[in-house]
Structure 1
Amino acid sequence: MNSKDKDEVIRSVPQTGFFGHPRGLFTLFFTEFWERFSYYGMRAILIFYMYYEVTQGGLGLDRTTANSIMAIYGSLVYMSGIIGGWIADRLLGTARTVFYGGILIMFGHIILSFPGSATALFVSMAFIIIGTGLLKPNVSSVVGDLYSDNDIRRDSGFSIYYMGINLGGFLAPLIVGTIGQTYNFHLGFGIAAVGMFLGLIVYLVTRKKNLGLAGQHVPNPLAKEDRFKVFGSIGLGVVIIVILGSIGIVTGYLTIDRFILLVSILGIIIPAAFFIFMYRSPKTNSDERSRLLAYIPLFIAAMMFWAIQEQGSNILATYANDRTQLEFAGIKLQSSWFQSLNPLFIVFLAPVFAWIWVRLGDRQPSTPKKFSLGLLFAGLSFIVMIFPAYLNGAESLANPLWLVLSFFLVVLGELCLSPVGMSATTKLAPAAFSAQTMSLWFLTNASAQAINAQVVKLYTEKTEILYFGVIGGISIVLGVILFLVSPIIQRQMKGVR
C-alpha cells in the first residue's frame, strides 16, 4: 500500500473512540475475543479428549502421540496463515478474508461437538486449520491498518488488542474446560462453536462503521488473465495431494508418525522459502530487503520463544493432569484451568506494558532488545520446572504453584515479544507482501510447534529435569546473544524502531 492509499485508509477510520485509540480497535478486539474463546476453549480440553480412555469419553490415544498431534495441529493452524495471507494480498483483502475464516472455524467446532471417531477429529481439525489461517494473520494486519507508521500509539494498540485475545483465552478454559471435563467433551466443543458465532456477529454489525477502508485494499491483486492459470495450478496441486494421501493411507505407508515428521520438516522449509521468495522479488526494494534480513534473527528468536510457550497446551497440560496436586486450599482444581493462567496474567499485565512503552516513548528498548528479554523470561519459565522433581522426585505430585510461576514468567516474556513482534512485522513488511508478511510472523509459531512435535517425544518423568533444563538454558543463551547483536539488527531495520 502506497502512502497515498494509507493516508486514505487512516482518514476513513475514526481515530478516537476506544480508550484513546481508533474505534476500529473495538471491532477487532471483540472479534478476536470470541475467536480466541472458541479456539482456546477447544484447545483446553482437546489433549485430554485425545488421550483419556474411551470409557472416560476420550479417544484413548497414547499420551506421547497425543502430545505430538497437539503440536502438529498447532503448527498447521499457524502454517495455514500462508494461505490466508495470499488470499488477502491477491484476491479479497484482509477484511473479507477474516469473515470467511470465522465461518470455517465455526463449522470445525460444530463437527467436534458431535460424538465421533478419530476421523471426525481430523476432519474438524482441517476446518479449524484453514479457517484460522484465513482469520488470524489478517485480523492482526487490519489492526496495523488503523495506525499511521509513525503513530506512537501503535505498540500500545497492539498490546490492547492482545489483551482482547487473552480475555477470551482466560474465560474459555474455565467455562469450556469445566464443562468438557466434568460433563461431556462434546458439549464443551459446542460452546466453543457458539463463541465463534458471536465473534462473527460482532464483526458483521460493527465493521462498516468502525473500520472504514481498513482491510479493503488488495495490495498485490491477481490479474484476471492470470487467475485461470493460478487456480488451475492450485486445483491440480490439491488433487495430487489428495490422491497421494489416499494411496498412503490405504497402503499403510502414511502413518500418523510419518505425517508428523513431514510437517516438522515443512515447518523449517516453508519459512526459509518464504524469506527467499520475498527477498528476491522485484517488488521488494533495497530498504525492504535490508529489513527482511533484520527480521531473520527476530524470526529465530520468536521460534525459540514459542517452542517454550506453546508447550503449555501439551507438556504442561499433561503435567497439570498427571503430575500436579489438584486439591489446593480446599478447592478441587480441573487440570484444564491451568490453561487460563497465561491469558489471566496477560489481561492484568498488558495494560501495564502498554503504558510503559508509551511512557518511555523514544527511550523504550529497541525491538531486538525486547525480543531478548522475551527469550530470557521464557527460559526461566522452564528452569523453574526443574525444582519439583529435583526437590521431591518425579514420583510425587508437584505443588500447583510451580506451574503458576512458570506461566507467570513466560507471560512476562510474551508481553516483551509477541505484541511488539506483530507491530514490528507490519512496519518491516515489504509493501507488496503486507498480509503475507504477517503470515510469516505466525510461521514463527508454526515452525516452533512443528519442531516441538519431535521434541515432546523426549519428555518423560525420568527425563523431566534434563528436558526443562536444556530447553530453558538454550533460550537464555539465545537471549543474551540477541541482546549483544541488537545494534547491528537495528541498523538493518532502516529507521524502523
Structure 2
Amino acid sequence: MASSLTKDSASIPGDEKTFFGHPRGLATLFMTEMWERFSYYGMRALLPLYLVAPGGLHMSAATATAIYSVYLSLVYLLALPGGWFADRVLGPRKTVAVAGAVIMLGHLTLALPTSGTFFAGLGLVAIGSGLLKANISTMVGHLYNGPDDPRRDGGFTIFYVGINLGAFAAPLIIGTVGESVNWHLGFALAALGMGLGLAQFLLGSRHLSSRSDIVPTPMTAEEKTSTLRKGLLWLAVAAVFYGIVGFSGVYTLNWLLVPLTIAGLVIPVWVIARIKRDKSLDRVEQSKMTAYIWFFVAAAIFWMIYDQGGSTLSLFADESAKNTVFGWEFPVSWYQSVNPVMIMAFAPVFAWLWLALNRRGKEPSTIVKFASGLVLVGASFFLFLAPLSIAEGGHKAAAMWLVAIYFVQTVGELLVSPVGLSVTTKMAPVKYASQMMGVWFLAVTAGDATTGLLSIAGVNLDKMGIVGLEATLAVVAGIAVWMYRKKVKELMGDVR
C-alpha cells in the first residue's frame, strides 16, 4: 500500500523513491499511525455506547463518562513515561513495535465475550497508546536533517493527515459493526486495524532513520535493577491493597477510578511545579515557564469540554437525538467522524489564513488564538443548551444540532491544539526540551481527569445547569486570558 503512494523526486539524489517528495520512511510511519488511530478511535467511539448498552455492560451514563474520561486521561498521562522508556530502555523504534503489540492484545482482550477481562483490555490499550504516542512523532523528526530541513513541516502535515484519515474511517466501519452487529466484533476489528499497522511498521522499518534505533540516555545496570525493584515493590503494594479491599467485600469500581482520577490531576500539577521550581533555569526560562502555565491551564479547561464530544454528547445522541439524515438513520458512533473530516477540510484553510495575515502584519498572537479557542469551546456548550432544551420538552433533537456543536469545537481545536504544540516547543527550557511535549499532553490528562472526577461525584454532565456552567467557565477563562494578553506576552519574551 505504501509503495503505491511513492514517487520519484529530484529533491533527493539517486534513484531512491520518496513519499510525496519526503523520505520513504514517512510512508511507513504514515500508514502505521493511520491504522493505530483507526483502532484507537474506533474503540473510543464504541466505548461509552457499549458501557451503557443493555447488551453491553449496562452502566449508568455517569459511570460510563467517568470510565471514558479516566481512560483518556491515562492515555495522555502515560505518554510521559512512554517517552522516558524509549529514551532510557529500548529506543523509539523498538518501543513503537512493543506498543503496537500491546495495543493489539488490548483490543483482542476487549473482543472477548466476557465482562471480566474488560478493564484489563482497556488498561492494555492505554499503556500501548502511551508508549506509542510520543515516540512515533519523534521518529518522523528523525527522517529529516535537523529542524532547518525545508521538508520537515510538510512531513508532519502529511503525517497529521494519516491521523485524521484513521480517525475518520474508524467510527464508520468499527462503529457500524459494533453497534449494528456485535460489540465484541467491533473491538475485534480495532485489533485487526492495529495488527495491520504493526505489520506495516515491521515490514517498512528498514526505511526509517538509524537514529530511531538509538537509546539516547541508556540506563546503567544499577539503574535498571533499582527501577525494576521499585516497580515491583509498588506493584506488590497495589496487589496487596486491592486484594484486601476485594476480599473484604467493600470493593466498588470507585476504588479504581478515584485514585486514577486524582493521579490525573496531581501529577500534571506536580510536573509543572517541579520544572518551575528548578533553580538551574535562567531568568528568561523561568519567565517563559510562568507564561506557559497560562497556556497549560487554558488547554486543560479546553480539553475538559472538548473531549466530552465522545462521552456526554455521544450519550445524549444515543438517548435524545434524531440520528437521521433525509429520513435515513445512521449509527450514533458516526458523529465521531465529524471532527476529523472537518479538521482535514479546515486545517489547510487556517494554515493559509495565518500566512496571509502574517504578511499583512495582522496575524493574531498565540495568546489571542488561545483565548479565542476557549471562547469557542464555551460557545459550543452554550449551543448544546438548545438540543438539551428540546429533549427536556419530550422531543428528539435534530442531528444537525450536534454537527453544529462539533463544528464550533473543531474551529476551537484548530486555534488551540496546533498552536499549543508549537508554543510548547518554542518555550521549552533547554534542560526539558525533550520532555515538554509530554508536559503538553498532561493538559489533556488534567482536563479529562476533571470530567472524570465530576462524574464520579455524581454530577450529571448533560443537565442544562452544568452544561451552562462549563460553558461560562470556558468563556470567562478565554476573556481573562485575553485581558492579560499583554502581561503574558511580556513573560514569553521573544516567543510569539
| TM-score of the superposed pair, with normalisation by structure 2 | 0.88
Which stretch of structure 1 is more off in the superposition, 16-25 or 223-232?
Answer: 16-25
Q: Which residue of structure 1 aligns with residue 101 of structure 2? A: 103
Shift of 1:282: 6.9
Aligned partner letter, 2:39: S
**Structure 2 contact 285–429 (Cα < 8 Å) conserved:** yes
**Structure 2 contact 74–445 (Cα < 8 Å) conserved:** yes
Task: Mark the CA change 1:134 to 1:389 in structure 2 (over 3 Å): closer, same or farther.
Answer: closer
Task: Mark the CA change 1:38 to 1:83 in structure 2 (over 3 Å): closer, same or farther.
Answer: same
**CA RMSD of the aligned region, Å?**
2.8
Q: Does the residue aligned with 2:409 lie in a helix, a strand or coil?
A: helix
- Alignment identity in percent? 39
Distance 2:181 2:160 in 1: 31
Task: Mark the CA change 1:100 to 1:187 in structure 2 (over 3 Å): closer, same or farther.
Answer: same
Q: Which residue of structure 2 aligns with residue 404 of structure 1? A: 403
Q: Which residue of structure 2 aligns with residue 353 of structure 1? A: 350
Q: Does the residue aligned with 2:480 lie in a helix, a strand or coil?
A: helix
1:479 aligns with 2:478: yes
1:250 aligns with 2:236: no
Distance 1:28 1:444 in 2: 26
Shift of 1:435: 4.3
Gaps of 5+ in 2: 1-11
**Structure 1 contact 158–422 (Cα < 8 Å) conserved:** no
Aligned partner letter, 1:241: A
- 1:40-55 correspondence runs (5 A): 40-53=41-54
**Structure 1 contact 141–426 (Cα < 8 Å) conserved:** no
**Structure 1 contact 288–430 (Cα < 8 Å) conserved:** yes
Q: Identify the match of residue 73 of structure 1 among 61, 71, 74.
A: 71
Distance 1:427 1:99 in 2: 30
Q: Which residue of structure 1 aligns with residue 4 of structure 2? A: none
Which stretch of structure 1 is more off in the superposition, 74-83 or 296-305?
Answer: 74-83
Q: Which residue of structure 1 aligns with residue 5 of structure 2? A: none
Shift of 1:357: 3.9
Task: Mark the CA change 1:415 to 1:17 in structure 2 (over 3 Å): closer, same or farther.
Answer: farther
1:408-455 deviation line (CA, Å, top 9, x unaligned): 110111112112222333343344544432222211111111110133
1:291-320 deviation line (CA, Å, top 9, x unaligned): 333321111111111111110111111111
Q: Which residue of structure 1 aligns with residue 379 of structure 2? A: 380
Aligned partner letter, 2:192: V
Shift of 1:260: 2.2
Q: Does the residue aligned with 2:397 lie in a helix, a strand or coil?
A: coil
1:379-407 deviation line (CA, Å, top 9, x unaligned): 11111111124457442110110000000
Q: Which residue of structure 2 aligns with residue 425 of structure 1? A: 424
Aligned partner letter, 2:381: F
- 1:11-410 correspondence runs (5 A): 17-18=18-19, 24-53=25-54, 56=55, 58-117=56-115, 119-145=116-142, 146=144, 148-149=146-147, 158-209=156-207, 211-281=208-278, 287-360=284-357, 363=361, 364-390=363-389, 393-410=392-409
Distance 2:283 2:217 in 1: 19
1:79-103 deviation line (CA, Å, top 9, x unaligned): 1122202212322333332221111
Task: Mark the CA change 1:149 to 1:370 in structure 2 (over 3 Å): closer, same or farther.
Answer: farther
**Structure 1 contact 379–471 (Cα < 8 Å) conserved:** yes
Which stretch of structure 1 is more off in the superposition, 381-390 or 395-404?
Answer: 381-390
Distance 2:287 2:135 in 1: 24
Aligned partner letter, 1:323: S
Task: Mark the CA change 1:278 to 1:161 in structure 2 (over 3 Å): closer, same or farther.
Answer: same
Q: Which residue of structure 1 aligns with residue 468 of structure 2? A: 469
Distance 2:314 2:145 in 1: 38
Distance 1:15 1:443 in 2: 40
Q: Does the residue aligned with 1:384 lie in a helix, a strand or coil?
A: helix
Distance 1:126 1:425 in 2: 28
**Structure 1 contact 380–409 (Cα < 8 Å) conserved:** yes
Task: Mark the CA change 1:225 to 1:290 in structure 2 (over 3 Å): closer, same or farther.
Answer: farther
Distance 2:22 2:338 in 1: 27
Distance 1:254 1:85 in 2: 33
1:308-346 deviation line (CA, Å, top 9, x unaligned): 111011111111100101233021111111111111211
Shift of 1:22: 5.7
Distance 1:252 1:133 in 2: 33
| TM-score of the superposed pair, with normalisation by structure 1 | 0.88
Matched residue count: 478
Gaps of 5+ in 1: 1-10
Q: Which residue of structure 2 aligns with residue 442 of structure 1? A: 441
Task: Mark the CA change 1:223 to 1:368 in structure 2 (over 3 Å): closer, same or farther.
Answer: farther
Shift of 1:230: 2.4
**Structure 1 contact 77–133 (Cα < 8 Å) conserved:** yes
**Structure 1 contact 78–443 (Cα < 8 Å) conserved:** yes
